[in-house]
């Protein structure tokens, strides 16, 4: 499918989500409004428990009981679908299947066309030589590349990434950031990346969405208008990092300020 045929724009309107816990309730998300352009790379940051995974799960169609709307292209999201791919912190590969079988898992048949698609995806993530390996024979970074290939095999309009590099060591993490950038530049899939790592958010995103903690609301959206690949030590990069940290500390310090 050509990029022109996709409509990977995402519109979220008035999204609210609460969970019932025992006799009480937790408001996980409140008043979320977001408009994401086709092919845009959005990073989402926010403190633990602020509703980031809940937001991605709603967009993936894995949650119900919320109010508001999520539209991908011209379709309203009402359940899971192949137009969205998701990648989690842990790779979630099936250990008894080979790399190529894992990647092919979401495809219907084992036609020559399917085999070609699998080969192409493995090439895209740089794992052509590991098609017959099993997940336990891979490093963490390699396994996550397989998860990326698997998520991309159906050419989704939107890729949802929930802390995909959170379990990797610092150097592998940086390599994987470069890798996802390269893949995005080839595929131009709309990307929604949740991360705890502010540098990662700035390095990758066209915009960084900052969520406030419970209930999760959009606190600020910081555009990152720097050419790629970005230099993490450049003056502009450091300024944006400072700006985002200030938002965080402002919030994190509130309870202490009251206690003094």
Ligand X SMILES: Nc1ncnc2c1ncn2[C@@H]1O[C@H](COP(=O)(O)OP(=O)(O)OP(=O)(O)O)[C@@H](O)[C@H]1O
Residues that bind Mg ion (CB under 5 A): 53
- 52 touching ligand X, by CB under 6 A: yes
Q: Is 54 in the site for ligand X (CB under 6 A)?
A: yes
Among 4, 48, 129, 227, binds ligand X (CB under 6 A): 48
Q: Which is nearer to ligand X, 135 or 216 (CB)?
A: 216
Q: Under a CB-based contact definition with an 8 Å cutoff, are residues 176 and 168 in contact?
A: yes
- Does the footprint of ligand X cover residue 248 (CB under 6 A)? no
Alpha-carbon span 93 to 9, nearest angstrom = 28
Q: Which of 51, 141, 156, 205 binds ligand X (CB under 6 A)?
A: 51
Distant-in-sequence, close-in-space partners of 129: CB < 8 Å, separation ≥ 6: none
Binding mask 21-40 for ligand X (x = CB under 6 A): x----x-x------------
Half-sphere CA count of 46, side-chain side, radius 13 A: 27
Pick from 126, 180, 187: nearest CA to 153: 187
Q: Report the C-alpha gap between 187 and 185 in whole angstroms.
A: 6
Question: Binding pattern to ligand X, positions 207-236, x when CB under 6 A?
Answer: -------x----------------------
Q: Which residue has the tokens 């030590």?
A: 233
Nearer to ligand X, 15 or 124 (CB): 15
SS3 203: helix
Binding residues (CB under 6 A) for ligand X: these are 19, 21, 26, 28, 46, 48-54, 214
């Amino acid at each position: 499918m050509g990029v022109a045929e996709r409509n990977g724009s995402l519109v979220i309107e008035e999204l609210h989500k609460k969970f019932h816990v025992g006799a009480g309730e937790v408001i996980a998300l409140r008043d979320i409004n977001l408009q994401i352009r086709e092919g845009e790379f959005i990073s989402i940051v926010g403190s633990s428990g602020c509703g980031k995974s809940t937001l991605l799960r709603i967009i993936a169609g894995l949650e119900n009981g919320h109010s508001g709307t999520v539209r991908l292209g011209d379709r309203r999201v009402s359940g899971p679908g192949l137009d969205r791919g998701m990648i989690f912190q842990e790779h979630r590969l099936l250990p008894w299947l080979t790399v190529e079988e894992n990647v092919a898992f979401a495809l219907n048949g084992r036609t020559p066309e399917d085999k070609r698609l699998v080969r192409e995806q493995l090439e895209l993530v740089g794992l052509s030589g590991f098609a017959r390996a099993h997940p336990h024979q891979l490093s963490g970074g390699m396994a996550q590349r397989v998860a990326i290939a698997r998520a991309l095999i159906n050419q989704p309009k939107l890729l949802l990434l929930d802390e995909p590099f959170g379990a990797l060591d610092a150097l592998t993490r940086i390599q994987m950031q470069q890798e996802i950038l390269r893949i995005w530049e080839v595929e131009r899939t709309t990307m929604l990346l949740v991360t705890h790592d502010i540098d990662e958010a700035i390095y990758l995103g066209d915009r960084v969405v900052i969520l406030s903690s419970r209930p999760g609301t959009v606190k600020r959206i910081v555009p990152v208008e720097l050419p790629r690949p970005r230099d993490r030590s450049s003056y502009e990069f450091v300024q944006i990092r400072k700006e985002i940290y200030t938002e965080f500390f402002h919030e994190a310090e509130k309870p202490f300020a009251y206690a003094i």
